[in-house]
């Protein structure tokens, strides 16, 4: 009984939420990898039994790389987590969701909605009065950030899948003809998500904006190996900034109010502020 209960818990953890589906065969392989000696028929019976008590939905996956019956939690179903979320965690999640609204595309944030709903329900129903009061008193003021570009939800899911499974995908980019892409990393800068990748068999690295992709199809073929690639080392080259040639030395004369702001929020760890007198008028000289 203990083994079967654990198997059911593990099985539920492997089932995604719509619009993603996982096949029964894939679930069987994951249970076998976890050390559970079960048959495909046993997994099928488990899924049927779970669907009586939990909001599981089925489909018949189509296309390359998808076989058999697919399973998922309904898109609007409540999140299930062990252990349950605490009041402090619920409040933190609500504030994080508010902060990320101006930074991430809505299609990305939609993945958080079941957990946000769980947090909201907990704060509303479990006597967490002090936390509810705190949330009513805290707001995230928007800064000078542009609204994030719209990213097609299907495009986002497919690129995430290709990156996670280290597979190629075909797509059009920026209205140009279809091409084959090998994904290697994902970077957020400001409110835009970028994919680090290579096209076809070329060796040059591209930094492409996710919102410019369309007609994405994940392929069965693995992405080309990128020997020695490390995303942190790559970003240290300055590829996401104006100057790819390394650090620059910047000297500025600024007003007192801006000097105070830079003192509180430096441009870099190497920044230095020096107060100077120029004809009796104080100025500030900043190096970064």
pLDDT tier at 207 (50, 70, 90 boundaries)?
very high
**Fold type of domain 2-73:** Arc Repressor Mutant, subunit A (1.10.10)
Digit-coded pLDDT (tens) for 80-131: 665 667 777 777 788 788 777 766 667 777 778 878 887 777 777 765 566 6
pLDDT tier at 58 (50, 70, 90 boundaries)?
confident
pLDDT of amino acid 83: 63
Give the residue with greater pLDDT, 240 vs 23. Answer: 23
Backbone angles phi, psi at 197, to 5 degrees: -155, 175
Distance CA 138, CA 144 (A): 19
pTM for the whole structure = 0.56
Provide the sign of the torsion angle of the four alpha carbons 113, 102, 19, 208, taken in this order.
negative
Provide the sign of the torsion angle of the four alpha carbons 11, 82, 104, 244, taken in this order.
negative
Specify the CATH number of the domain 153-236.
2.30.30
DSSP assignment of the chain equals: -HHHHHHHHHHHHT--BTT--EEHHHHHHHHHHTT----HHHHHHHHHHHHHHS-EEEE---STT--S-EEEE-TTPPP--SSPPPHHHHHHHHHHHHHHTTTS-HHHHGGGHHHHHHHHHHHHHSS-HHHHHHHHH------S-PPPPP--HHHHHHHHHHHHHTEEEEEEETTEEEEEEEEEEEEEETTEEEEEEEETT--S-EEEEGGGEEEEEEEEEEPPP-TT--HHHHHHTTTTSS-TTS----EEEE-HHHHHHHHHS-SSTT-EEEEEEETTEEEEEEE-
Q: Is the pLDDT of residue 277 over 60?
A: yes
Q: How many other C-beta atoms can be found within 10 angstroms of the C-beta atom of residue 231?
A: 12
194-210 average pLDDT score: 91
Q: Where are the domains of the chain?
A: 2-73, 87-137, 153-236, 251-287
């Amino acid at each position: 009984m203990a083994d079967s209960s654990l198997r059911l818990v593990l099985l539920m953890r492997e089932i995604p939420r719509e619009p993603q589906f996982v096949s029964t065969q894939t679930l069987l392989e994951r249970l076998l990898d976890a050390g559970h000696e079960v048959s495909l028929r046993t997994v099928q019976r488990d899924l049927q039994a779970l669907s009586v008590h939990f909001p599981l939905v089925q489909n018949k996956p189509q296309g390359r790389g998808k076989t058999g019956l697919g399973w998922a939690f309904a898109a609007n179903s409540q999140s299930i987590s062990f252990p349950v979320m605490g009041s402090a965690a619920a409040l933190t999640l609500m504030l994080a969701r508010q902060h990320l609204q101006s930074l991430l595309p809505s299609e990305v944030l939609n993945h958080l909605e079941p957990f946000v709903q769980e947090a909201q329900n907990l704060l509303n129903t479990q006597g967490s009065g002090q936390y509810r009061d705190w949330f009513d008193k805290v707001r995230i003021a928007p800064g000078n950030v542009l609204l994030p570009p719209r990213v097609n939800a299907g495009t986002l899911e497919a690129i995430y899948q290709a990156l996670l499974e280290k597979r190629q995908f075909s797509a059009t980019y920026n209205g140009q003809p279809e091409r084959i892409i090998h994904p290697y990393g994902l970077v957020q800068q400001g409110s835009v998500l970028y994919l680090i990748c290579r096209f076809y068999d070329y060796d040059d690295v591209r930094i492409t904006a996710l919102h410019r992709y369309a007609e994405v199809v994940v392929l069965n073929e693995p992405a080309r190996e990128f020997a020695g690639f490390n995303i942190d080392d790559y970003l240290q080259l300055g590829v996401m900034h104006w100057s790819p040639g390394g650090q620059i030395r910047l000297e500025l004369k600024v007003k007192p109010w801006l000097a105070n702001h830079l003192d509180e929020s430096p441009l870099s760890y190497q920044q230095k502020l020096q107060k100077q007198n120029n004809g009796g008028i104080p100025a500030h000289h900043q190096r970064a």
